[in-house]
Chains A and B, each alone.
Chain A
């Protein structure tokens, strides 16, 4: 049973199971809240300049929070996304977490600003090749980093996990859709189960919220390659929707949301189980381009800028400039809701992007709902992935035939290829495992995924 009886019920700012955390922040309870993410300018990150790094993070946080106060923004979520060194040296990440949280506490006390801190630990397991996903030193550091950051003041824990990426990075550029679907339906699922079982345990132990994961390493990689003309957009669209079963595993293992901003597959998961979601679109152009600027906001609960480096712009430094942009975006959505026009506004967000790119079409709430139904009704993740991929091909074909979506000849040619592949996927994933083992020999370790 899905959390919503129809896609028409799903809208920005409201989720079935709001999340309370931090300094009295309530996510998904009727209001879209900005989620601000920032990163350092071009600076070396190491123990030697820890003092400088800490000062930078404190300064940026102060400026972001002050912008919220100036613009009467009552709630904000701040995200600290670890760079490699912060997870590799868990103490490093924890110290920065503590600094940011203390700054947030000061603003809560002084101005009553309600804020929460999401910490996204870096998935450093793919540092070694082939990656040691379960048994290496890196995985211990990832978990230790979660523990130390939770202890240091994180309110929400997240990760952009990478199980299977060692294969899809090659499979995507080679157009090996069979391998991509195998990874999303088998390897990534097994890794998510392993990883999130422990993240949820840590969250319970420290009384923090297990947020969610994202298929960034798969679907956003494909999106960026499509934007550069390297791979067809229809293939990137397929990777996107076929990522729904994978990212849903975090919630099945106990994640409560808000799901991570760069998971454009999130709306389907919100429809499945009612958790609040973070999304990013036009205001994340500072980090990357996308054809999803408006439609991504249609069902969001947090509205994010993805990541921006601390550089000076005419209007101030980039983090506070993008905080301002997010605040105005959220204010407009929340005003629409207050005036009982949320659904009308949502439909405009959808209509403005939906037919301009097959990837935008994937974010149509109607299609997301159908993907959620597949996950709900199909027996196992591998078959969910295959059925979702068929849904993508059929939908794009239908919309193209009826003239609403236009594709180039080369995109049409690829749509045909995708159709041939997804409709000929074997029923037993063991058959593809043999193929993947042979073609990607040396790229991955079976035992690190619990594969036979």
Chain B
């Protein structure tokens, strides 16, 4: 259908007004909302993802496309809520205590949101109590921790230990990342996974939650 193709193009080119207008037109034409989502919006995001991996698109273009997709999806949302469809999963993220670096964490959050996850950002310099309280309150599927310093990465272990003390560890998957962190360290401290970069983090969360793509 030509309008669906135009919708995926609007996402690809970051044209918010055009995408919203196309969604409204498609609904007026009685096109099934699932079809609008899958063959228009998600198809557009898939192409954006391919272009990013090929080095043709950069993060600003991915974020813009994601914003356009979410804006256009808002129009469809009520139809999906009525049908009982939920998001792919909840993630809580934070940079650990003593560490003020957050750009890497923010990129991971943006990519996860673009992939359909609900993410709560706890910010930087987050202590173990705050992590634990948010796990209790939000009940996320995944807790992500970031550290950029060799002197702050040991704190990740303290957070995991506190989760264990509070009896929460089995209820949440824990993933870690950051420049000095590696797979071995992640396993040593008892995390469920490690991601080298934002793209890997999305794959890791999908894998841990057994989310099928597309």
- Chain A interface residues (CB < 8 Å from chain B): 39-45, 83-85, 124, 126-127, 129, 169-170, 172-176, 221, 225, 228-232, 309, 408-410, 414
In whole angstroms, how far apart are the Cα atoms of A309 and B154 in the complex?
14
- The one of A169, A173, A225 in contact with B63, judged by C-beta atoms closer than 8 angstroms, is A173
In whole angstroms, how far apart are the Cα atoms of A40 and B149 in the complex?
9
> Is residue B205 within 8 Å, beta carbon to beta carbon, of the partner chain?
no
- The one of A40, A83, A229 in contact with B58, judged by C-beta atoms closer than 8 angstroms, is A229
- The one of B102, B125, B151 in contact with A169, judged by C-beta atoms closer than 8 angstroms, is B102
> Is residue B82 within 8 Å, beta carbon to beta carbon, of the partner chain?
no
Shortest distance in angstroms between B195's beta carbon and chain A's nearest beta carbon?
13
* Majority secondary structure, B binding face: loop
In whole angstroms, how far apart are the Cα atoms of A410 and B61 in the complex?
11
> Is residue B34 within 8 Å, beta carbon to beta carbon, of the partner chain?
no
> Is residue B80 within 8 Å, beta carbon to beta carbon, of the partner chain?
no
In whole angstroms, how far apart are the Cα atoms of A406 and B151 in the complex?
40
> Is residue B26 within 8 Å, beta carbon to beta carbon, of the partner chain?
no
> Is residue B116 within 8 Å, beta carbon to beta carbon, of the partner chain?
no
Q: Which residues of B contact A408 (CB under 8 A)?
A: 55
- The one of B55, B59, B151 in contact with A40, judged by C-beta atoms closer than 8 angstroms, is B151
A174 touches B63 (CB 8 A): yes
Shortest distance in angstroms between A271's beta carbon and chain B's nearest beta carbon?
31
B124 touches A127 (CB 8 A): yes
A44 touches B155 (CB 8 A): yes
**Size class of the contact patch on chain B:** 20 to 34
A84 touches B60 (CB 8 A): no
The residue of chain A having its C-beta at the shortest distance from the C-beta of B53 within the complex is: A229
B154 touches A175 (CB 8 A): no
- The one of B58, B98, B110, B150 in contact with A175, judged by C-beta atoms closer than 8 angstroms, is B58
Shortest distance in angstroms between A408's beta carbon and chain B's nearest beta carbon?
7
| The 5 nearest A-B residue pairs measured at CB | A175-B60, A230-B59, A45-B151, A84-B98, A44-B154
Take A39-B150, A228-B197 as given contacts and tell me if A85 and B63 are in contact as well, using a CB distance cutoff of 8 Å. Answer: no
Shortest distance in angstroms between B121's beta carbon and chain A's nearest beta carbon?
10
Shortest distance in angstroms between A183's beta carbon and chain B's nearest beta carbon?
14
> Is residue B99 within 8 Å, beta carbon to beta carbon, of the partner chain?
yes
Shortest distance in angstroms between B134's beta carbon and chain A's nearest beta carbon?
16
The residue of chain B having its C-beta at the shortest distance from the C-beta of A84 within the complex is: B98
A43 touches B106 (CB 8 A): no
Shortest distance in angstroms between A305's beta carbon and chain B's nearest beta carbon?
15
In whole angstroms, how far apart are the Cα atoms of A171 and B60 in the complex?
9
Q: Which of B104-135 contact A (CB under 8 A)?
A: 106-107, 110, 123-125
Q: Which residues of A contact B124 (CB under 8 A)?
A: 127, 129
Q: Which residues of A contact B98 (CB under 8 A)?
A: 45, 83-85
The residue of chain B having its C-beta at the shortest distance from the C-beta of A176 within the complex is: B60
> Is residue B56 within 8 Å, beta carbon to beta carbon, of the partner chain?
yes
Shortest distance in angstroms between A121's beta carbon and chain B's nearest beta carbon?
13
Q: Which residues of A contact B185 (CB under 8 A)?
A: 42
A414 touches B151 (CB 8 A): no
In whole angstroms, how far apart are the Cα atoms of A45 and B180 in the complex?
16
Q: Which residues of B contact A172 (CB under 8 A)?
A: 103
> Is residue B100 within 8 Å, beta carbon to beta carbon, of the partner chain?
yes
In whole angstroms, how far apart are the Cα atoms of A40 and B123 in the complex?
24
Apart from the given pairs A42-B180, A83-B149, A84-B152, 11 other A-B contacts in the complex at a CB distance below 8 Å: A42-B153, A83-B98, A127-B125, A173-B63, A173-B103, A173-B106, A175-B58, A225-B103, A229-B58, A230-B107, A309-B180
In whole angstroms, how far apart are the Cα atoms of A229 and B51 in the complex?
12
B56 touches A169 (CB 8 A): no
Q: Which residues of A contact B56 (CB under 8 A)?
A: 409-410
B150 touches A169 (CB 8 A): no
28 cross-chain CB contacts under 8 A: A39-B150, A41-B150, A43-B151, A43-B154, A83-B98, A83-B151, A84-B125, A126-B100, A127-B100, A127-B124, A127-B125, A129-B123, A169-B102, A169-B106, A170-B106, A173-B59, A173-B63, A173-B103, A173-B107, A174-B60, A174-B63, A175-B58, A175-B59, A229-B55, A229-B58, A230-B59, A231-B60, A309-B150
Shortest distance in angstroms between A45's beta carbon and chain B's nearest beta carbon?
5
In whole angstroms, how far apart are the Cα atoms of A409 and B54 in the complex?
12
In whole angstroms, how far apart are the Cα atoms of A228 and B107 in the complex?
12
Shortest distance in angstroms between A59's beta carbon and chain B's nearest beta carbon?
16
B151 touches A42 (CB 8 A): yes
A225 touches B106 (CB 8 A): no
Shortest distance in angstroms between B156's beta carbon and chain A's nearest beta carbon?
10
User: Which of A124, A221, A410 has the most chain B CB atoms inside 10 A of its CB?
Assistant: A410
Shortest distance in angstroms between B71's beta carbon and chain A's nearest beta carbon?
15
The residue of chain A having its C-beta at the shortest distance from the C-beta of B197 within the complex is: A228
A84 touches B55 (CB 8 A): no
- The one of A173, A221, A232 in contact with B110, judged by C-beta atoms closer than 8 angstroms, is A173
- The one of B58, B103, B107, B154 in contact with A232, judged by C-beta atoms closer than 8 angstroms, is B58
Q: Which of B135-185 contact A (CB under 8 A)?
A: 149-155, 180, 185
In whole angstroms, how far apart are the Cα atoms of A85 and B99 in the complex?
9
B58 touches A43 (CB 8 A): no
The residue of chain B having its C-beta at the shortest distance from the C-beta of A172 within the complex is: B103
Take A173-B63, A173-B107 as given contacts and tell me if A42 and B154 are in contact as well, using a CB distance cutoff of 8 Å. Answer: yes
B150 touches A84 (CB 8 A): no
In whole angstroms, how far apart are the Cα atoms of A84 and B185 in the complex?
22
The residue of chain B having its C-beta at the shortest distance from the C-beta of A45 within the complex is: B151
Q: Which of B69-91 contact A (CB under 8 A)?
A: none
The residue of chain A having its C-beta at the shortest distance from the C-beta of B63 within the complex is: A174
Shortest distance in angstroms between A442's beta carbon and chain B's nearest beta carbon?
13
In whole angstroms, how far apart are the Cα atoms of A409 and B106 in the complex?
27
A221 touches B151 (CB 8 A): no
B59 touches A225 (CB 8 A): yes
Shortest distance in angstroms between A93's beta carbon and chain B's nearest beta carbon?
13
Q: Which residues of A contact B149 (CB under 8 A)?
A: 39, 83-84
The residue of chain A having its C-beta at the shortest distance from the C-beta of B103 within the complex is: A169
In whole angstroms, how far apart are the Cα atoms of A179 and B43 in the complex?
31
Q: Which residues of B contact A169 (CB under 8 A)?
A: 102-103, 106
